[in-house]
Amino acid sequence: MWALRSAKKSGFSVDKEVLARGVRYVEKCSQPDGTFRYRAFGLHAAPAIGGTCVIVLCNAGRMDHELIPRARDRLAYEYSRYTVQDLCERRYFMFGALYASLAMFMCGDEYWLPWFRKAAEVFAALQRDTGEFADHAGNTTYATAMAALVLQAPLGRLPLYER
């Protein structure tokens, strides 16, 4: 969906039915509690996927979609309810943080600023003395790249962060 949006912004024609199929897929993955399954036939749903689904809907031009407030509210709840240490230990924190950051940013400062404050605390806890970041498994390359993308957001230098 991101590639299709980029193509459309660059002047390419994008079939509306292709975008509609992407939206329908996200709808099939949605759960009433604001979480999403990774696959439509998947058994487990997670809040981390919520950010990704919000971005898909926004990239399809559906910023008013009824699933966005549920996903946004679930993301806000997850980050406010858990401690910094709990979030540090999450298996997919880095992945979820990037997409949650983009989704919450698109929803406005009322949602993004509290989310960002908490995420920044988690990133500070995950940063090593060398400056790099580590995830729950000790990986540093991916974790540092994800942290850099999220932490630069207030500077407004990436076109990913646009409203």
Tokens representing 77 are: 């709840």
Task: Kindly report, residue by residue over 59-103, the tens digit of the pLDDT.
Answer: 888 889 999 999 999 999 999 999 999 999 888 899 999 999 999
**Neighbour tally for 10: CB within 10 Å:** 7
Other beta carbons within 10 Å of 118: 18
Give which of 103, 81, 100, 80 is closest to 92, Cα–Cα: 100
Residue with tokens 């980029």: 6
Entry pTM = 0.87
Residue 1 — very low, low, confident or very high, per pLDDT cuts 50/70/90?
Answer: confident
Mean pLDDT of the chain: 91
Cα-based distances in Å from 126 to 45, 78, 87, 147: 25, 18, 10, 9
- C-alpha to C-alpha distance for 30 and 13, rounded to whole angstroms: 28
Spell out the domain ranges in the chain. Answer: 2-82+90-155
